[in-house]
Amino acid sequence: MTDNSHEFSIAVLLPTRGRSDALERSVKSLFELADNPDRVQLMLGFDEDDDAGTVAFQELLQPWLDQHNYNYTAMSFEPLGYTRLNEYVNTLALASDSDWLFFWNDDAFVETKSWDSIIQTHDDEFKLLAVHTHNDHPYSIFPIVPRAWLTHMGYLSPHQISDAWLSQQAYLLDIWERIPVNVVHDRHDLTGNNDDATFQNRVMFEGNPSSTRDFHHPTWSRYRIDECEKLAEYMRTNGISTDWWEAVKSNKQDPWAKLKVNDINKQMVQFNHIPGTTIRI
């Protein structure tokens, strides 16, 4: 839900490292296909030691942004690595001034004209929005959330795998919605492109539930459920139904029923129906 007190409609949260052509294509697609590019705030995050990425931005993309008077902020980070990707996004989000927060990648580009206007049709809703991409994975691979989410929680995701974190919460609360915006995720394992150091050095905390840093470790599962109750508190206060969530807690509702319907390509290999636990991939 928006309160119309922010300077921009949508902040694009974009940590980037070592990319030039892909980054340029990504950013230009956003501004060129927006109805109101002056209402889009680009939030870029660079590592302090990323000389190649920083120089490429300064020489290629920054002059283009300045020429068109587009809004952007470039922040410098002590290198946190892919394992702390959520910390980049949380910091960029807190520094932004927008109604909506759009998680973005430097290897992605949007294909749908008026993508910003489509997001804004949901201004009066408290929902996690998902674009079409990645073989329509049932998660929101590039989550779009209202600022109220950040304001109420103080951050967006405490775990590296933000898309799964937020998507599971949205399904548990029945506030997940796909919107008619197409995005190409030009990642090497999906398209064969961008097989560079940024891709090769990715480390994901998923697939080893016995590890305390793994997405499916019981500690993180419990944490997600506790956060859902905090989000439900916001929803109740603002007159948004939490009937689905209450039914989940009382074992009357399969929490993942709508996720299974959205899993059109069977990308989720196991569903756990016990409220308070997570889906395993």
**Interval 210-229 mean pLDDT:** 88
Residue 148's CB: how many other CB atoms inside 10 A?
17
In this predicted structure, what is the pLDDT of residue 195? 54
Give yes or no for a contact between 117 and 39, defined as CB atoms under 8 angstroms apart. no
In this predicted structure, what is the pLDDT of residue 4? 64
Cβ neighbours for 214, distance < 8 A, ≥ 6 positions apart: 205, 206, 207, 208, 220
How far apart CA 101 and CA 11 sit, in angstroms, is: 5
**Interval 58-72 mean pLDDT:** 97
Q: 86 pLDDT exceeds 60?
A: yes
Q: 278 pLDDT exceeds 50?
A: no
**Interval 136-155 mean pLDDT:** 96
pLDDT band at 52 (very low <50, low <70, confident <90, very high): confident
In this predicted structure, what is the pLDDT of residue 280? 36
In this predicted structure, what is the pLDDT of residue 20? 78
Sign of torsion, CA 243 166 13 78?
positive
How far apart CA 245 and CA 106 sit, in angstroms, is: 35
Read off the pLDDT of residues 156-179 as tens digits, 9 standing for 90 and up: 999 989 999 999 999 999 999 999
Higher-confidence residue of 271 and 155: namely 155
Q: 268 pLDDT exceeds 90?
A: no
**Interval 247-260 mean pLDDT:** 94
Q: 30 pLDDT exceeds 80?
A: yes
What 8-state DSSP symbol labels residue 73?
E
In this predicted structure, what is the pLDDT of residue 174? 98
Coil vs helix vs strand at 271: coil
What 8-state DSSP symbol labels residue 125?
-
